[in-house]
């Protein structure tokens, strides 16, 4: 086995941004409801051989991190959003989506889904053939489940190219981060159709990612939200104390085991107490809908969905557009609402086409090149999409 058995699912370079000395960091542990100060930074957010025993996947992720670290540092130093044509934009977007799906929480969520699903499918047969076995004493996991999210991210990150970006800056107070630092949520749709609506293609999506104690990156559906002209420019928004508090509660509500902060006098317990009511009690939800049943077989529709944090994020620098409000009013009148409300049907259609071609074994170009080619074939695309397809 390789020597580097500590596989970090949140990079060390990132945690250093929230450390006064780049060696230690303050944390609040959820299980013990306790703040712990100046813990060794390199002992955070890792599991032994999390991405496999060979070390190949860990080294590949290290390359992504090294490239992204330079791009993120440049964005922090210049306090400006990179242009879509700039390499930094692509580097950060890839890293952001990979980070969202490579954590211990995501791996455990995949295994929870696997366990629920296969036990439900197999239990009738097992109970009949091996009546003495107790399935509740076993877990059905996927080996190296953390790698599944990485592969998914690398083939789907371009679904986010239509999102707006803004940097939120503090003028007092501080942003915190956690062991699942990239947050996907949808305060526009909420759980109006019984789901979290926080998937990568969802209409109304918002993504938050703290960069430093003073700076946070926000991605938003620009067909639904616009920047408040009073408190924002095209690239920078001033986060009010209320905004900072809400974003911190969101981090604490979404974290798996720990959230992290810079200042010793930060009131972590207060943040935890307000976040606790939003925290999830399960990772995946499974529902079954009977279709038909005979003596020989039963047919059911099984729907699994990851449970999101239904948090009513309302930021002073992001405003819901009037046309989006009108659309939502009509949508909520529907008795039967679709399970997925797509933000950009063109992008979604192209990605579905890419996945189907990939399954057929056809040699394909990288997803971004494929996307640019297909977008160029549409006549009704936005000016920004037309620009990226050249």
Say if CB 178 and CB 260 are below 8 A apart. Answer: yes
Say if CB 100 and CB 184 are below 8 A apart. Answer: yes
Largest CA distance in the chain: 69
pLDDT band at 213 (very low <50, low <70, confident <90, very high): very high
Query: In this structure, is residue 1 part of a structural domain?
Result: no
* One domain, residues 267 and 360: no
DSSP assignment of 146-194: HHHHHHHHHTTGGGGTT-EEEEEEESSS---EESS--EEE-TTTTTTTS
Say if CB 214 and CB 170 are below 8 A apart. Answer: yes
Percent of the chain, pLDDT > 90? 58
pTM of the shown model:
0.89
In this prediction, residues 238-265 reach a mean pLDDT of: 97
* One domain, residues 195 and 227: yes
* One domain, residues 327 and 383: no
* One domain, residues 128 and 271: yes
For residue 279, what is the DSSP state? S
Give 49: exposed, middle or buried? Use CB within 10 Å, 0-12, 13-18, 19+: middle
Query: Residue 358: which domain range?
Result: 349-390
* One domain, residues 154 and 48: yes
Say if CB 367 and CB 354 are below 8 A apart. Answer: yes
Domain count, the chain: 2
Say if CB 219 and CB 202 are below 8 A apart. Answer: no
Q: Per DSSP, what are the bridge partners of residue 320?
A: 225
pLDDT at 2: 57
- How does the average pLDDT of the chain come out, rounded? 89
Q: At what angle do helices 367-375 and 345-359 cross, to 10 degrees?
A: 130
Query: In this structure, is residue 179 part of a structural domain?
Result: yes
pLDDT at 377: 55
* One domain, residues 322 and 384: no
The pLDDT tens digits for 327-344 are 999 999 988 888 789 999
For residue 81, what is the DSSP state? P
CA 86-89-95 angle, 5° bins:
140
The pLDDT tens digits for 150-188 are 888 888 899 999 999 999 999 989 999 999 999 999 999
pLDDT for residue 30 is more than 80: yes
pLDDT band at 88 (very low <50, low <70, confident <90, very high): very high
* One domain, residues 231 and 296: yes
At residue 202, the 3 state secondary structure works out as strand
The pLDDT tens digits for 269-312 are 999 999 999 999 888 888 888 877 787 777 888 878 888 888 99
In sequence order, the 6+-apart residues with CB closer than 8 A to the CB of 23 are 40, 41
* One domain, residues 227 and 359: no
pLDDT at 125: 81
At residue 225, the 3 state secondary structure works out as strand
* One domain, residues 11 and 135: yes
pLDDT at 3: 66
* One domain, residues 306 and 186: yes
Alpha helix stretches (DSSP H) within the chain:
12-16, 56-78, 87-101, 104-129, 146-154, 241-254, 268-275, 322-331, 345-359, 367-375, 383-388
CA pair distance 160, 368, nearest whole angstrom: 11
* One domain, residues 256 and 312: yes
């Amino acid at each position: 086995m390789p020597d580097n058995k500590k596989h970090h699912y949140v990079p060390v370079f990132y945690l250093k941004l929230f450390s006064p000395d780049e060696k230690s960091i303050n944390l609040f542990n959820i299980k013990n409801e306790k703040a712990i100060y100046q813990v060794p930074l390199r002992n955070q957010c890792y599991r032994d051989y999390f991405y496999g025993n060979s070390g190949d996947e860990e080294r590949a992720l290290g390359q992504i991190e090294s490239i992204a670290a330079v791009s993120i540092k440049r964005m922090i130093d210049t306090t400006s959003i990179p242009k879509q044509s700039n390499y930094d934009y692509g580097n950060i977007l890839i890293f952001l989506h990979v980070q969202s799906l490579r954590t211990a929480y995501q791996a455990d969520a995949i295994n929870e889904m696997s366990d629920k699903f296969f036990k439900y499918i197999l239990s009738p047969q097992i109970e009949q053939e091996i009546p003495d076995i107790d399935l509740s004493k076993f877990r059905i996991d996927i080996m190296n489940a953390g790698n599944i999210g990485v592969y998914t991210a690398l083939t789907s990150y371009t679904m986010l190219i239509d999102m707006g970006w803004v940097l939120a800056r503090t003028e007092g107070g501080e942003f915190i981060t956690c062991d699942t630092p990239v947050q996907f949520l949808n305060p526009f749709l909420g759980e109006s159709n019984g789901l979290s609506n926080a998937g990568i293609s969802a209409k109304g999506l918002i993504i938050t990612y703290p960069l430093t104690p003073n700076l946070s990156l926000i991605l938003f559906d620009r067909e639904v939200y616009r920047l408040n002209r009073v408190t924002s420019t095209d690239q920078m928004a001033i986060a009010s104390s209320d905004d900072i508090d809400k974003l911190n509660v969101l981090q604490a509500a979404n974290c798996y085991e720990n959230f992290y902060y810079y200042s010793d006098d930060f009131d972590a317990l207060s943040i935890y107490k307000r976040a606790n009511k939003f925290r999830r009690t399960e990772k995946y939800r499974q529902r079954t809908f009977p279709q038909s049943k005979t003596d020989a077989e039963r047919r059911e529709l099984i729907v699994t969905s990851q449970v999101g944090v239904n948090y009513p994020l309302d930021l002073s620098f992001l405003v819901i557009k009037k046309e989006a409000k009108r659309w939502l009013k009509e949508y909520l009148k529907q008795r039967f609402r679709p399970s997925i409300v797509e933000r950009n049907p063109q992008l979604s259609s192209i990605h579905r086409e890419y996945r189907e071609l990939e399954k057929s074994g056809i040699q394909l170009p990288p997803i971004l090149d494929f996307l640019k080619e297909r977008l160029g074939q549409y006549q009704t695309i936005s000016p920004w999409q037309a620009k990226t397809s050249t």
